[in-house]
């Protein structure tokens, strides 16, 4: 008998492997941070023994979800500055908040976001941090990612212009300085958290970039192997400003600067022309689809079905809590399918299985992590979660995939394992004091809103002043 570190038994296992096998009475063995074996409980009982047995009777086991785009600090502004389109909203809410953010606050808000990602089944998260010049703020967000236990990629944006659009001076920096900082972060933090973290490049948005800045990011990506992510065509303003400045649309301009490539994860892509989609296919660009954020800011419905049919890899994302008001990947799963059904006026255009593919294997491929996460198979990282469907919201179950996508909520996610480590057990974090963190974040958020001046966005009568 081989000894393993954890043996999960009697689960319905949704493997997301290439045949989309669902195992009945399945078992999964973990050795170190990897999956050692998957099979039926009888098969694995005959091969393995463990001091750590997890009885998953009546539970479904899924690979951890991949959240392709968020801004972890934005949990600070949930419910602050509603009902605005993106350009107005960044100027009124997120820019002043980021500019006033301290490292201590960044840590607390990032922790809140990380914990909700985990509670909603997201075990891999790509962070897109604004280009603050205080390195301590970046280190604090990275520390939160490490401490929370999740797997992730930390990216820090380059924005070398944009004052005319209200970007505060604290968030603008020459591209070479910003890139030098990202390179330093890459050296310092690649492999942090027992190998769970790596570092990538991000570009704020087209109207906050010069053409030499765009070219410099591409050169840095080629030299360092870091991926690039960028907000692209979230609103019609991107193309409007690119046309004004360069006489071209955003995506053709990015093609000319060499930014497009298989290492680019384009975020939003709501307003796309046929030529834009063709360029994405030609260059192998992947898209992060943020359905809740697109609805919240009234940005529009991205042509995800059309992009996928053309050959673009699609992954799912929550976006920051500022334009979502939470980090719930289960809500994102559900809305990812529903919003496309509305756009296409065709209920069959995105099935539950397709939405789950976006949130698992396809998202992993977008990040360049295929063969590491997003699927349950021997040799891959042991990143998974268990769903107990026995709540009124999720019961009865006929099809575990349909239950996860359309019926499950955070209260159904009982156990979360990342890198072979049990982070959430019986619905509670094993090594973190969640209640203490939430109280500290609440206090910090109100303090920050006061300093950043964003509390003026609130109607005085409705303010939260509990006794
Ligand atoms: Zn974003």
Q: Which fold has domain 65-366?
A: TIM Barrel (3.20.20)
Q: Give me 265's structure tokens.
A: 């994860």
**Which of 276, 280, 231, 278 minimizes the C-alpha distance to 260?**
280
Q: Give me 135's structure tokens.
A: 């390195």
pTM (predicted TM-score)? 0.98
Residue with tokens 């390195």: 135
pLDDT (0 to 100) of residue 463 = 81
Q: Give me 254's structure tokens.
A: 């990015």
CA 127–ligand 1 middle distance (angstroms):
9
| Spans in the chain with pLDDT lower than 70 | none
CA distances from 366 to 27, 97, 126 (A): 28, 30, 11
**Which of 228, 236, 231, 289 minimizes the C-alpha distance to 264?**
228
The reply to whether CATH 2.30.40.10 applies to domain 2-63+375-429 is: yes
CA 401–ligand 1 middle distance (angstroms):
28
| Every domain of the chain and the residues it spans | 2-63+375-429, 65-366
CA 70–ligand 1 middle distance (angstroms):
6
CA 319–ligand 1 middle distance (angstroms):
5
d(C-alpha 121, C-alpha 131), whole Å: 28
pLDDT (0 to 100) of residue 225 = 98
d(C-alpha 215, C-alpha 158), whole Å: 12
The tens digit of pLDDT for each residue in 49-75 reads: 999 999 999 999 999 999 999 999 999
CA 232–ligand 1 middle distance (angstroms):
10
Q: Give me 159's structure tokens.
A: 């924005």
DSSP tag of 339 = H
CA 277–ligand 1 middle distance (angstroms):
20
CA 438–ligand 1 middle distance (angstroms):
23
pLDDT (0 to 100) of residue 81 = 87
Residue 37, φ and ψ in degrees, nearest 5 = -165, 155
**Which of 32, 27, 125 minimizes the C-alpha distance to 419?**
32
Q: What angle do CA 5, 119, 455 make, to 5 degrees?
A: 145
In b/e form, how buried is each residue of 288-313, taking b as 16+ CB within 10 angstroms?
bbbbbbbbbbebbebbbbbbbeeebb
CA 10–ligand 1 middle distance (angstroms):
39
CA 292–ligand 1 middle distance (angstroms):
12
Q: Are 270 and 235 in contact (CB under 8 A)?
A: yes
H or E element that contains 305: helix 304-310
CA 175–ligand 1 middle distance (angstroms):
20
CA 231–ligand 1 middle distance (angstroms):
6
Q: What is the dihedral of CA 2, 8, 12, 15, to 10 degrees?
A: -70
């Amino acid at each position: 008998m081989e000894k393993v570190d954890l043996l999960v038994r009697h689960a319905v296992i949704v493997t997301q492997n290439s045949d989309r096998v669902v195992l009945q009475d399945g078992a999964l063995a973990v050795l170190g941070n990897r999956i050692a074996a998957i099979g039926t409980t009888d098969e694995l009982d005959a091969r393995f023994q463990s001091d750590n047995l997890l009885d998953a009777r009546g539970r479904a086991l899924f690979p951890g979800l991949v959240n392709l785009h968020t801004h972890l600090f934005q949990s600070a502004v949930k419910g602050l500055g509603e009902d605005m389109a993106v350009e107005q909203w960044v100027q009124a809410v997120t820019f002043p908040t980021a500019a006033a953010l301290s490292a201590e606050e960044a840590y607390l808000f990032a922790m809140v976001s990380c914990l909700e990602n985990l509670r909603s089944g997201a075990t891999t998260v790509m962070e897109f941090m604004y280009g603050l010049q205080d390195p301590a703020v970046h280190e604090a967000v990275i520390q939160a990612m490490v401490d929370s236990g999740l797997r992730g990629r930390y990216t820090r944006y380059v924005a070398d212009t944009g004052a005319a659009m209200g970007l505060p001076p604290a968030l603008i920096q020459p591209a070479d300085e910003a890139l030098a900082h990202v390179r330093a972060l890459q050296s310092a933090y690649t492999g942090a958290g027992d190998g769970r973290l790596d570092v990538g490049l991000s570009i704020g948005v087209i109207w906050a970039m010069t053409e030499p800045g765009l070219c410099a990011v591409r050169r840095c990506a080629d030299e360092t192997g870091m991926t690039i992510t960028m907000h692209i065509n979230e609103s019609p303003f991107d193309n409007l400003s690119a046309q004004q400045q360069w006489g071209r649309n955003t995506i053709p301009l990015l093609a000319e600067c060499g930014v497009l490539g298989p290492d680019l994860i384009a975020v939003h892509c709501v307003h796309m022309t046929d030529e834009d989609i063709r360029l994405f296919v030609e260059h192998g660009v992947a898209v992060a689809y943020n359905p809740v954020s697109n609805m919240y800011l009234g940005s529009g419905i991205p042509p995800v079905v059309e992009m996928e049919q053309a050959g673009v890899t699609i992954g799912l994302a929550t976006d920051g809590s500022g334009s979502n008001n939470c980090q719930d990947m289960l809500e994102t799963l559900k809305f990812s399918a529903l919003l496309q059904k509305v756009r296409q006026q065709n209920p069959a255009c995105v099935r539950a299985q397709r939405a789950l593919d976006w949130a698992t294997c396809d998202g992993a491929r977008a990040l360049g992590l295929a063969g590491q996460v997003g699927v349950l198979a021997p040799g891959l990282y042991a990143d998974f979660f268990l769903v107990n469907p026995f709540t009124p919201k999720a019961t009865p179950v006929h099809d575990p995939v349909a239950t996860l996508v359309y019926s499950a909520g955070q209260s159904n996610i009982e156990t979360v394992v990342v890198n072979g480590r049990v982070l959430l057990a019986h619905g509670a974090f094993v090594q973190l004091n969640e209640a203490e963190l939430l109280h500290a974040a609440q206090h910090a958020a109100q303090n920050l809103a006061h300093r950043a001046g964003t509390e003026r966005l609130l109607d005085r009568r409705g303010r939260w002043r509990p006794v």
